[in-house]
Amino acid sequence: MLWSSGFIYVNLLLIINHSITMTTNTLPDFTNKNTTIMFDNYSYTAAERLMRYVQTDTQSDPKSTSFPSTEKQKDLSAILVNELQELGITDAHMDEYGYVYASLPSNTDKQVPVICFCAHVDTAPDCSGAGVKPLLHRNYDGNDIILPDDTTQVISTSDHPYLKHKIGEDIITASGTTLLGADDKAGVAVIMDLVNYLQLHPEVKHGTIKILFTPDEEVGRGVDKADIKKLGADFAYTLDGGEIGSIEDENFSADGVTVTFYGISAHPGSARGKLVNALKVAAYFISSLPKDELSPETTEERYGFVHPLHIDGIAEKVSVQFIIRDFITAKLEAYENFLRDKVESALAEFPGAKADFVVKEQYRNMKEVLDLHPQVVAHAREAMERAGIQPITTGIRGGTDGSRLSFMGLPCPNIFTGEMALHGKHEYVSVQDMQKSMQTLVYLLQVWEEKS
């Protein structure tokens, strides 16, 4: 262990020997007395686990056609299987695709729905995840965090306002040349800490618990090969959210649209009155799109958009690809009709040009499924309240594995872990947020058991 201006450099060997001891700062005041009783004497393991897990490179690769997209993701899956077995979870195993499955048997006479906790082992392709050096900043003082391996990388409260609420807590960052990988190894660590806690606390009554660690979430294939039948869960929660108290039960509904314009080719030397240039039709069409609305660069929160993201072509033929997004699925059709009108207007300007319009469904708002099972989110909110946290239900301006799981028959909102500033060198996580996330899961299991 090397000290360097307030950082702890974490040495791989030391960490493997479990010689990192975490000091737990006094947590915020709890409204619920049980909290202190249940967790007072517990040594949390999530931070130590996270700092160890991030040192295994698990970056996924969108260009790969294999599954998992990179074999190295299995390195962490194998570590997790070993640790689960050491914790007494005898059925823990990894399948050929790198998924980890494990179960904890019920310890109650009641019939309780089977609950799955899920997190992904891969890290984002956007930023290197090789040679990650996790740093623990104890008792964060509110100043800028200058990352030592590239001092131009500064995590400041002006760029990251959530950090202002983390003064006095312990913050984990990378060292300046890589991402941290708290997305989603914080989720993995919280679930592993939950298993550790439950094995030490058999008095906590719960139904059957399933654990699922997935590869390739960051390349959008995280549940492609997940065996939902084998998993055998009734409801699930992904542990892949950010700010303390957040529970995400909504995400965009999404379609892809491809508009292909066809011109008429002719030798340019004798093209007068014959040639119709598809490039000019496409340019006219794109310039007719709104700029101050219906665009990701000018909208936020609950507003949707039509977003051209790729253009490809020659004078004879041009395709323009769009993503269409809104929280209300029915609005997608309205946006598509709006685009069709713009295509017609462009064609009217260029007689002889033609166009195709192809819509492809991508994913849907998980709220459509979760609203049929309101107890899934309600129980998570109650668990947070028992942990002394104010729950904040929010939506995601994107898709998640949870939304895909929801439509595969496993309703699955997303719970906070504290992971912040994802996919970049400024990524950080609060140790105390991870601890609160683990507490939330313990209470969540109790709520499900009590209400069954």
**CB-based closest residue to Zn ion:** 184
The β-bridge partners of 244 are none
Applying CB under 5 A, does 427 fall inside the site for Zn ion? no
Stretch of 238-246, 386-394, 397-405, 427-435 lying at the interface with Zn ion (CB under 5 A): 238-246
Contacting range for Zn ion; rule: CB under 5 A; set: 35-43, 93-101, 233-241, 309-317: 233-241
Name the residue nearer to Zn ion (CB basis): 183 or 433: 183
Region 185-214 residues binding Zn ion, contact defined as CB under 5 A = none
What phi and psi, each to the nearest 5 degrees, are found at residue 68? -65, 165
Please report whether residue 183 would count as binding Zn ion according to CB under 5 A. Answer: yes
Cβ distance to Zn ion smaller for residue 86 or 126? 126
Return the closest-CA partner of residue 1 out of 48, 43, 46. 48
- Of the two residues 83 and 183, which places its CB atom closer to Zn ion in the complex? 183
| Least spacing, CB of residue 173 vs Zn ion, in Å | 17
Phi and psi dihedrals of 358, rounded to 5?
-120, 125
Residue 291: CB atoms within 10 A of its CB come to 9
Amino acid residing at 334: A
Residue 12 three-state SS: helix
Q: Is 37 helix (H, G, I), strand (E, B) or coil?
A: helix
Question: By CB under 5 A, is residue 184 in contact with Zn ion?
Answer: yes
* Least Cβ distance, residue 204 to Zn ion (angstroms): 27
Q: By CB under 5 A, is residue 216 in contact with Zn ion?
A: no
Q: Which stretch binds Zn ion (CB under 5 A): 166-174, 184-192, 335-343, 403-411?
A: 184-192
- Residue 419 makes CB contacts below 8 A (sequence gap 6+) with 182, 183, 184, 186, 187, 240, 241, 242, 427, 429
By beta-carbon proximity to Zn ion, the closer residue of 184 and 433 is 184
Catalytic residue, chosen from 217, 240, 249, 419, is: 217
Phi, psi of 61 (to 5 degrees): -135, 110
Query: Active-site residue among 48, 83, 122, 382?
Result: 122
State yes or no: residue 240 binds Zn ion (CB under 5 A): yes
Among residues 74 and 185, whose Cβ is nearest to Zn ion?
A: 185
Assign residue 176 a region (left: φ > 0; alpha: ψ between -120 and 50; beta: otherwise): left
Segment interacting with Zn ion (CB under 5 A) among 6-14, 132-140, 178-186, 297-305: 178-186
- In the complex with Zn ion, the residue whose CB is nearer, 125 or 263, is 125
Bridge partners of residue 415, in order along the sequence? 239, 247
Amino acid at 358: V
Q: Using an 8 Å Cβ cutoff, are 430 and 170 in contact?
A: yes
Residue 109's identity, in one-letter code, is D
- Minimum Å gap between C-beta 226 and Zn ion is 15
Residue 438 Cβ vs Zn ion, minimum distance, rounded to whole Å: 17
Q: What share of the chain is helix, strand, coil (3-state, %, to 5)?
A: 30, 25, 45
Residue 122 makes contact with Zn ion by CB under 5 A: no
The structure tokens listed for 129 are 């995840």
Of the candidate spans 161-169, 232-240, 325-333, 443-451, the one that interacts with Zn ion by CB under 5 A turns out to be: 232-240
Residue number, 183 or 449, with CB nearest to Zn ion: 183
* Residue 371 Cα distances to 170, 280, 413, angstroms: 37, 46, 11
Number of residues lying near Zn ion (CB under 5 A)? 3
Known catalytic membership, residue 217: yes
Select from 361, 59, 80 the least CA-distant residue to 219. Answer: 59
- Rounded to a whole number of angstroms, the minimum distance from the CB of residue 243 to Zn ion is 14
Smallest distance, Zn ion to C-beta of residue 294, A: 27
Residues with Cβ within 8 Å of residue 262, at least 6 apart in sequence: 278, 316, 317, 353, 354, 355, 356
Query: Mind spelling out the 3-state secondary structure of 417-451?
Result: CCCECCCCCCCEEEHHHHHHHHHHHHHHHHHHHHC
Closest distance between Zn ion and the C-beta of residue 183, in Å?
4
Q: Which stretch binds Zn ion (CB under 5 A): 240-248, 296-304, 322-330, 391-399?
A: 240-248
Judged by beta carbon, residue 176 or residue 187, the one nearer Zn ion is 187
CB of 182 to Zn ion, least distance (A): 9
Q: Residues with catalytic annotation?
A: 122, 217
Q: Which residues bind Zn ion (CB under 5 A)?
A: 183-184, 240
